[in-house]
Amino acid sequence: MKLIIVGGVAGGASAAARARRLSEDAHIVLFERGPDVSFANCGLPYYIGGEIVERKKLLVTTPEMLRSRFRLDVRTRSSVEAIDRTAKMVRVRDLASGREYEESYDKLILAPGAAPLRPPIAAIDLPGVFTLRNLQDVDRIKEHVDSGVKQVVVVGAGFIGLELVENFVKRGIATTVVELQDQVLPPFDKEMTTPIVETLLDKNVTVLLGQSAEGFEEGADGLVVRLKSGQRLPAQLVILGVGVRPENKLAVDAGLQVGPRGGIRVNERLQTSDPDIYAVGDAIEVKDVVSGDPTQVPLAGPANRQGRIAADNVFGRPANYRGTQGTAIVGVFDRTAAMTGSSEKTLRRANRPFRKIYVHPAHHAGYYPGADSMTLKLLFDPTTGRVLGAQAVGGAGVDKRIDVLAVAIQAGMTVFDLEEMELAYAPQFGSAKDPVNMAGFVAAGLLRGEHPQLDVDTCLAAPVADQPFLLDVRTPQEFASGHIPGALNIPVDDLRSRLGKLPRNRKIAAYCQVGQRGYLATRILLQSGFSAANLGGGYKTYKLFQPSAQSRSL
Amino acid sequence: MKLIIVGGVAGGASAAARARRLSEDAHIVLFERGPDVSFANCGLPYYIGGEIVERKKLLVTTPEMLRSRFRLDVRTRSSVEAIDRTAKMVRVRDLASGREYEESYDKLILAPGAAPLRPPIAAIDLPGVFTLRNLQDVDRIKEHVDSGVKQVVVVGAGFIGLELVENFVKRGIATTVVELQDQVLPPFDKEMTTPIVETLLDKNVTVLLGQSAEGFEEGADGLVVRLKSGQRLPAQLVILGVGVRPENKLAVDAGLQVGPRGGIRVNERLQTSDPDIYAVGDAIEVKDVVSGDPTQVPLAGPANRQGRIAADNVFGRPANYRGTQGTAIVGVFDRTAAMTGSSEKTLRRANRPFRKIYVHPAHHAGYYPGADSMTLKLLFDPTTGRVLGAQAVGGAGVDKRIDVLAVAIQAGMTVFDLEEMELAYAPQFGSAKDPVNMAGFVAAGLLRGEHPQLDVDTCLAAPVADQPFLLDVRTPQEFASGHIPGALNIPVDDLRSRLGKLPRNRKIAAYCQVGQRGYLATRILLQSGFSAANLGGGYKTYKLFQPSAQSRSL
């Protein structure tokens, strides 16, 4: 067996190591265009910021190690230029010498990754304008930063964009982030990103949403970024982080099928349309676990697992890739945002019925010092209760709850299962009723009909005539420090004695700070013959939809 | 409907709040023997240590709040002395006045909790010898500590015992812990507690295992604890934390069924043998989720959920309690130990077939600063691969992995599902191959037969003639700093060229530091015609079974 693997980072390196474990005899050739194999992509922003001090830490392994330990025929700075599927040969160019040669294969695994998008912006090739993909990029950026940068513009407020923003701020650089969409972290639902924007603003980051870079110019002090709005941003460094596209040229040229967004099409065994050619990682189209639809999700975890699975299949051990659910996480200063499964907007786009709830629990018992509040949004099927997606934003403990919910989605669990989850509790780690239990209680109560809820966004977007009577059941102090316009304040503890103040001919939407007192108020009202519902997630959720200053002008 | 609830802490308070949400009309009487309702049991040790500063933080709610918000008829310092099931009456003693009276019920929920065991030890009632259950106990202990305690003896090295030890050490008190069993944290498998013992010893705690207190005496400087071994420990304060027993007297006197260990017997609806009487919390017998056998697990999370479920059933909403899986966690200084599902010893006792693996991953990407190593043990069915139990010990991130595995057990997932879990990865939160994935890879490889493994404990316990040939595949430096006696050292990178040094007529057990290089070595050996297996979890697992100083004599 002669196996050729194209691409030596996450998926390719995993496939190669697995292949050797499965076969001592196989000839395994690993071609990598760059000088490094298996480097830590996800660490690059933190090396720029200085959190990761030693460059060599970013090298997860080296070509030498792969040769000595796995007897891999590793060829770096080698670009595979073409595949001759009939002859089962690849044409390779040695980038050092320029020499081209051919290499035969029995099986081929493509792991070429995805390249940063370079949109057609005027003067995008000016010095000082960078994209970030590999160690060579990071070396160039770091050298540029170390030479003295006062202002940076990051174009694109996705995961890597915001990680870069944090690291530039930590280096004392005045930082602006420009995002075409009207929110940061586009995979998330917009309201869940409000706390992240607030954190960025707190750190004096200039956040420009719904804006795009139209061109770059040389300026008096480095560069000028011209925005579509006409604004001109001076900067000595610009990073483009506006997304990636699958490196599919090799596959397309070879006549392999690709999807509409360019991802190489594979079956469950990760076989392309040519059964002797497999493909893995950021370059492929995968199945969305929740919707079953094809999608493209460039993530390191799936790439690593796909590498294993492709190698298994190459060596005759049938293994299926189950699909990707898009579990992702990002740290932005002391805040964390994480998600898994479908977002509300993807469900809406797919016209898939869903319900949603929000809870705002502390990450561990409130009586133990250091409890940090989080917002957890849960999306679920309105009939079966199956969990479709989850998003959380907060500090410590966000990663844990999203991982727990990722497993729930993988297992096809319902909100009724979340109620029963038995998670580890001691006061420094969680609560007797964990945030995930709380989300389950609220969602299950909604589906059982015992806890009717209105979504704050749809409720307040309705024409005034259709809007419910708003009842704020918090204390007068809470009410005075901010409430939804038009609401009447009756604290929940007084509600039973003041029911006469409430309309009998109109739906009442009760709300409190996070939803708990609003739930009790709703139960009291329902049992007293009112038409009532809880405004889900309370005033805190309302505030997520009312960001005070989503973007700041210059 | 008139509902009486006996006991106002976790399960009782949850049942009462839920009952009111379900019914505005019901008369709900909550009897509590103590002066407080719903206090934070799990926080008590941290109040003694000063981590929790304000006593009022321990009061999750108050009788006044339960009255005003939930219109509960809360009667504290009221002891329910007897149940007349025929008349459906309880006899109550008002502890303040001594007055006794009767109260009728339609439905009764028992939530009396569990009381600390007071073993028959001589002079156990001497001043300075305490148990810890409620705020009154903690007030007495704290007063005693504040009056100047130099030496404390904690009898019992369970969860609460070790939490107390940590808090006494933090207050600068010389602390000894005495445990009857030959390990701390008896629900865990012994080898998993080795790092906890090492931490205790590092903090200058005297750890006496396999020892018991035989009596107490007044001494020159307070008390003397006499151990069975003859040792005499001076102390000014002794805490007994040797377990709890269900408070079942009321139930037993009323003729309700109890299990062999005293837990009140209930069905899935949490109904006792009298259909009008429910029982919840630490006083009941529950079903073990993994084994299906009856068990008793005093934990706050299950108690809270049971309270909800009992109230649901009382008000005609059928709800089942699925059982308890024993998810538990404890922090001991900077270490965390957590578990879920069955332990190896419970599986052995039940003669249930199982396999086990150990992994020793970092809690997040090794290239990002602050990665903390953990040991994760996974127990699974040898045929189906179903996850039966998990234990972890380490620092940050232990809680997350045990919660993920708790959900896997709840969902009936297998080790093959763990391989495919898509968990959140960014370098400060996890790894592209999460510790749970790693455990899945190792366990699934074992079951598929591609990664044969030997358990270090059974392997080395075998007669010498039956022991395998030990091959240490680490570097010479690692080998020199400690290895298993009798092992031959051939680094994995040299293995292919030195196969001639190895016996063909004997099983070879390869090992490295944590199991990864040992796995590759095993694959090389198997494919070269040797009989070989990996010593699961490597030298680190071996060391867990070789604690250097489990207990220290005085």
Superfamily of domain A129-242: FAD/NAD(P)-binding domain (3.50.50.60)
Residue A357 tokens, joined = 């709830």
- CB–CB of A305 and B419 under 8 A? yes
Q: How confident is the model at residue B485 (pLDDT cuts 50, 70, 90)?
A: very high
- Is A459 assigned a catalytic role? no
Q: Quick one: average pLDDT of B380-404?
A: 98
Determine the distance in angstroms separating the CA of B459 from the nearest CA of chain A, rounded to an integer.
24
Cα dihedral sign, A264-A268-A269-A273: negative
Instruction: Please tell me the distance from the alpha carbon of residue A147 to that of residue A506, in angstroms, as a whole number.
Output: 66
Instruction: Look at A57-66, A485-494, B69-78 and tell me which has the smallest mean pLDDT.
Output: A57-66
Question: Tell me: the pLDDT tens digits for A355-414?
Answer: 999 999 999 999 999 999 999 999 999 999 999 999 999 999 999 999 999 999 999 999
Residue A152 has pLDDT above 60, yes or no: yes
Q: How far is CA B424 from CA A113, A433, B278, B401, B443, in A?
A: 20, 23, 41, 12, 21
Question: Tell me: the pLDDT tens digits for B277-326?
Answer: 999 999 999 999 999 999 999 999 999 999 999 999 999 999 999 999 99
Cβ–Cβ < 8 Å for A451, A442: yes
Cβ–Cβ < 8 Å for B256, B277: yes
- A541 sits in which H/E element: helix A538-544
- CB–CB of B410 and A421 under 8 A? yes
| B320 contact A CB<8A | no
Looking at this predicted complex, what is its ipTM? 0.96
In order, the DSSP letters of A167-226 are: HHHHTT-EEEEEESSSSSSTTS-GGGGHHHHHHHHHTT-EEEES--EEEEEEETTEEEEE
Instruction: Please tell me the distance from the alpha carbon of residue B90 to that of residue B106, in angstroms, as a whole number.
Output: 11
Neighbouring CB atoms inside 10 A of B287's CB total 18
Q: How far is CA A2 from CA A19, A29, A176, in A?
A: 11, 8, 50
Closest CA relative to residue B240, chosen from B120, B130, B140, B115? B130
- CB–CB of A424 and B299 under 8 A? no
Cβ–Cβ < 8 Å for A371, A364: yes
- CB–CB of A408 and B407 under 8 A? yes
Instruction: Please tell me the distance from the alpha carbon of residue B17 to that of residue A389, in angstroms, as a whole number.
Output: 30
Shortest CA distance from B520: residue in chain A? A21
Residue B552 has pLDDT above 50, yes or no: no
| A16 contact B CB<8A | no
Q: What length is written for chain A?
A: 554
Give percent of chain B above pLDDT 70: 99
Give percent of chain A above pLDDT 70: 99
CATH class label, B334-448: alpha beta
Topology, domain A2-113+245-314:
FAD/NAD(P)-binding domain (3.50.50)
- Contacting residues for A494 by C-beta, under 8 A, at least 6 apart: none
Instruction: Please tell me the distance from the alpha carbon of residue A294 to that of residue B411, in angstroms, as a whole number.
Output: 26
Residue A318 tokens, joined = 């049938």
Instruction: Please tell me the distance from the alpha carbon of residue B51 to that of residue B53, in angstroms, as a whole number.
Output: 6
Question: Tell me: the pLDDT tens digits for B166-212?
Answer: 999 999 999 999 999 999 999 999 999 999 999 999 999 999 999 99
| A125 contact B CB<8A | no
Q: Which of A58, A71, A365 sits opposite B40 (nearest CB)?
A: A365
Q: How far is CA B514 from CA B360, B361, B404, in A?
A: 6, 8, 22
- CB–CB of B305 and A419 under 8 A? yes
* A1, A22, A42, A65: the active-site residue: A42
| B328 contact A CB<8A | yes
Residue B163 has pLDDT above 80, yes or no: yes
Instruction: Please tell me the distance from the alpha carbon of residue A219 to that of residue A214, in angstroms, as a whole number.
Output: 15
Cβ–Cβ < 8 Å for A234, A151: yes
Instruction: Classify B214 as helix, strand or coil.
Output: strand
Q: How confident is the model at residue A101 (pLDDT cuts 50, 70, 90)?
A: very high
Q: Quick one: average pLDDT of A43-49?
A: 95
- CB–CB of B426 and A450 under 8 A? no
Q: How confident is the model at residue B553 (pLDDT cuts 50, 70, 90)?
A: very low
- A253 sits in which H/E element: helix A249-253
Please report residues of A whose CB lies closer than 8 A to that of B289. 422
Instruction: Please tell me the distance from the alpha carbon of residue A75 to that of residue A72, in angstroms, as a whole number.
Output: 9
pLDDT score for B549 = 56
Q: Which of A25, A331, A365 sits opposite B426 (nearest CB)?
A: A331
| Every domain of chain A and the residues it spans | 2-113+245-314, 129-242, 334-448, 453-544
Residue A554 has pLDDT above 70, yes or no: no
| A187 contact B CB<8A | no
Please report residues of B whose CB lies closer than 8 A to that of A51. 368-369
Neighbouring CB atoms inside 10 A of B250's CB total 22
The order of strands in the sheet holding B232-235 is B213-219, B222-227, B232-235
pLDDT score for A549 = 56
Asked if domains B2-114+245-314 and B129-242 share a fold, the reply is: yes
Radius of gyration over every alpha carbon of chain B, rounded to an integer in angstroms: 26
Q: Look-up: residue for tokens 């989300």?
A: A439
Q: Look-up: residue for tokens 């210059």?
A: A554
Please report residues of A whose CB lies closer than 8 A to that of B24. 496, 523-524, 527-528
- CB–CB of A368 and B402 under 8 A? no
Instruction: Please tell me the distance from the alpha carbon of residue B167 to that of residue A184, in angstroms, as a whole number.
Output: 44
- CB–CB of B422 and A433 under 8 A? no
Shortest CA distance from B69: residue in chain A? A493
| A305 contact B CB<8A | yes
| A69 contact B CB<8A | yes
Instruction: Please tell me the distance from the alpha carbon of residue A375 to that of residue A363, in angstroms, as a whole number.
Output: 10
Mutation target for A interface from B304, B422, B434, B516: give the one with most A CBs within 10 A.
Answer: B422
Residue A121 tokens, joined = 């912006």
Residues of B acting as catalytic residues: 42
Q: Which of A329, A417, A427 sits opposite B424 (nearest CB)?
A: A329
Determine the distance in angstroms separating the CA of B130 from the nearest CA of chain A, rounded to an integer.
22
Closest CA relative to residue B398, chosen from B330, B442, B336? B336
Parallel, antiparallel or unpaired: strands B453-454 and B532-535:
parallel
Instruction: Please tell me the distance from the alpha carbon of residue B542 to that of residue A215, in angstroms, as a whole number.
Output: 62
HEC secondary structure over A314-338: HCCCCCCCCCECCCEEEEECCEEEE
Q: Which of A24, A57, A399 sits opposite B528 (nearest CB)?
A: A24
Instruction: Please tell me the distance from the alpha carbon of residue B299 to that of residue A426, in angstroms, as a whole number.
Output: 10
Please report residues of A whose CB lies closer than 8 A to that of B333. none
Instruction: Look at A34-38, A327-331, B184-188, B484-488 and tell me which has the smallest mean pLDDT.
Output: A34-38
Cβ–Cβ < 8 Å for A389, A347: yes
Q: How far is CA A213 from CA A154, A208, B516, in A?
A: 10, 11, 48
Q: Which residues in A224-258 are b (16+ Cβ under 10 Å) and which e?
A: bbbbeeeeebbbbbbbbbbbbbbbbebbeebebeb
Q: Quick one: average pLDDT of A42-55?
A: 94
Q: Which of residues 443-482 of A touch B (CB under 8 A)?
A: 448, 450
In order, the DSSP letters of A389-423 are: EEEEEESTTHHHHHHHHHHHHHTT-BHHHHHH---
Check: pTM over 0.80? Answer yes or no: yes
Residue B334 has pLDDT above 60, yes or no: yes
Question: Tell me: the pLDDT tens digits for B217-265?
Answer: 998 899 999 999 999 999 999 999 999 999 999 999 999 999 999 999 9
Q: What is the mean pLDDT of chain B?
A: 95
| A430 contact B CB<8A | yes
Cα dihedral sign, A37-A38-A42-A47: negative
Question: Tell me: the pLDDT tens digits for B412-421?
Answer: 999 999 999 9
| A264 contact B CB<8A | no
Residue type, A10: A
CATH architecture of B2-114+245-314: 3-Layer(bba) Sandwich (3.50)
Shortest CA distance from A312: residue in chain B? B450
| B43 contact A CB<8A | yes
Neighbouring CB atoms inside 10 A of B542's CB total 22
Q: Find the distance separating the first CA and the last CA of chain B, reported in whole Å.
A: 61
Residue B451 tokens, joined = 């990664």
Q: How many CB pairs under 8 A join A and B?
A: 245
Residue A465 has pLDDT above 90, yes or no: no
Determine the distance in angstroms separating the CA of B378 from the nearest CA of chain A, rounded to an integer.
16
Please report residues of B whose CB lies closer than 8 A to that of A58. 367
Q: Which of B317, B365, B421 sits opposite A406 (nearest CB)?
A: B421
Determine the distance in angstroms separating the CA of B85 from the nearest CA of chain A, rounded to an integer.
31
Q: How confident is the model at residue B547 (pLDDT cuts 50, 70, 90)?
A: confident
Q: What is the mean pLDDT of chain A?
A: 95
- CB–CB of A429 and B52 under 8 A? no
Q: How confident is the model at residue A460 (pLDDT cuts 50, 70, 90)?
A: confident
Identify each DSSP E strand in B428-524 by its residue range. Answer: 453-454, 469-472, 488-489, 508-511
CATH of the domain spanning A453-544: 3.40.250.10
